[in-house]
Amino acid sequence: MSDATLAPIENDEPRIVRETGVDARVASIVEPVLNSAGYRLVRVRLSGMNGLTLQIMAERADGTMTVEDCEDVSRMISPLLDVEDPIDRAYHLEISSPGIDRPLVRMSDFARWRGHIAKIETSVMVDGRKRFRGTITGMTQDAVTIEADKAKLGEAMVADIPFEAVSEARLILTDELIRAALKADKAARLARGLEVGDDDDNEDTASDSDAEA
């Protein structure tokens, strides 16, 4: 079990990057349950990995997620998915943390990781393209600003990307990001009274046995 009972997350910040299709159906089922248990949904993704894998990515409000947390979430989610039955085939359930090179799905994610490099894809053309890579340098209520370390001929070095156009975004793994993420994780774990070792790993996962449709 996790180290302490978590307070429910009420009025959770909405995600600006959301799922479609079956993924969206699963998200609508699990997100209220996660919030009630003190967790935030990051992403739902159904993929063809290992036959068929349903990955549910979640985290605590402080951004941490231990192996025990993943196991707790798995125990909560598995019976719910069995009852609701949103997937019509057998699948493998995987509960995971966002990891260091995490997806950015809320405005607060972009704010928290300002100064780090992100890769962003958009659903519509922005400044003549749909793919961006650069350092997060600022944001408003409507857009995030990134500055590219290099640009192709004709491309602007600085781009303001409307949040409503973002279809996918994630951090790019760098030495600076690793140091910042481990420092933040260590501080959060110490605040919870957990022991912190040199080999702590931020990418925790827990998998269930195959779930039958």
**125 and 155 assigned to the same domain:** yes
Tally of domains within the chain: 2
Tens of pLDDT, residue by residue over 145-198, are 999 988 777 778 999 999 999 999 999 999 999 999 999 989 988 887 777 765
Determine, yes or no, domain membership for 37: yes
Is the Cβ–Cβ distance between 145 and 139 less than 8 Å? yes
Tens of pLDDT, residue by residue over 50-80, are 789 999 999 999 999 999 999 999 999 999 9
**37 and 74 assigned to the same domain:** yes
Lateral strand order in the sheet of 143-147: 158-162, 143-147, 129-139, 117-126, 166-171
Q: Which domain holds residue 115?
A: 107-171
C-alpha dihedral sign at 121, 77, 52, 55: positive
**138 and 157 assigned to the same domain:** yes
What is the bridge-based pairing of β-strands 91-96 and 53-60? Answer: parallel
- The CB-based long-range contact list for 108-117 (8 Å cut-off, 24+ gap) reads 108/13, 110/136, 110/139, 110/144, 110/169, 111/139, 112/63, 113/171, 113/177, 113/180, 114/138, 114/139, 116/171, 116/172, 116/174, 116/176, 116/177, 116/180, 117/149, 117/171, 117/172, 117/174, 117/177
**29 and 95 assigned to the same domain:** yes
Determine, yes or no, domain membership for 67: yes
The pTM assigned to this predicted structure is 0.88
Task: Examine the pLDDT at 210 and tell me if it is beyond 60.
Answer: no
Task: Examine the pLDDT at 5 and tell me if it is beyond 80.
Answer: no
| CATH code, domain with 93 | 3.30.300.70
| CATH code, domain with 123 | 2.30.30.180
Tens of pLDDT, residue by residue over 85-142, are 999 999 999 999 999 999 999 999 999 999 999 999 999 999 999 999 999 999 999 9
Determine, yes or no, domain membership for 181: no
